[in-house]
Amino acid sequence: MNQLVVTKSKMQGGIWEGLVTGAGDTKPKLSVTHLENPLEDVTLTEAREAGGWLLQIPVPSEAIADGVQTILITDVETGAQLDSFTLIAGEALGDDLRAEVDLLRAELDMLKRAFRRHCVETT
Query: pLDDT by residue (tens digit) across 78-101?
Result: 989 999 999 988 776 666 777 778
Give the pLDDT band (50/70/90) at residue 110.
Answer: confident
Average pLDDT over residues 15-40: 94
Q: Which of 29, 87, 81, 79 is nearest to 58 (CA)?
A: 87
Check if CATH label 2.60.40.1130 holds for domain 5-88: yes
In three-state secondary structure terms, 121 is helix
Domain definitions of the chain by residue range: 5-88, 90-123
What Rg value do the Cα atoms of the chain yield, rounded? Answer: 22
Residue 52 is given by DSSP the state: E
Phi then psi for residue 5, to 5 deg, are -130, 135
Picking from 48-62, 71-85, 89-103, which range would have the lowest pLDDT averaged per residue?
Answer: 89-103
Quote the pLDDT of residue 39: 96
Average pLDDT over residues 25-43: 94
Q: How far apart are CA 112 and CA 3, in angstroms?
A: 52
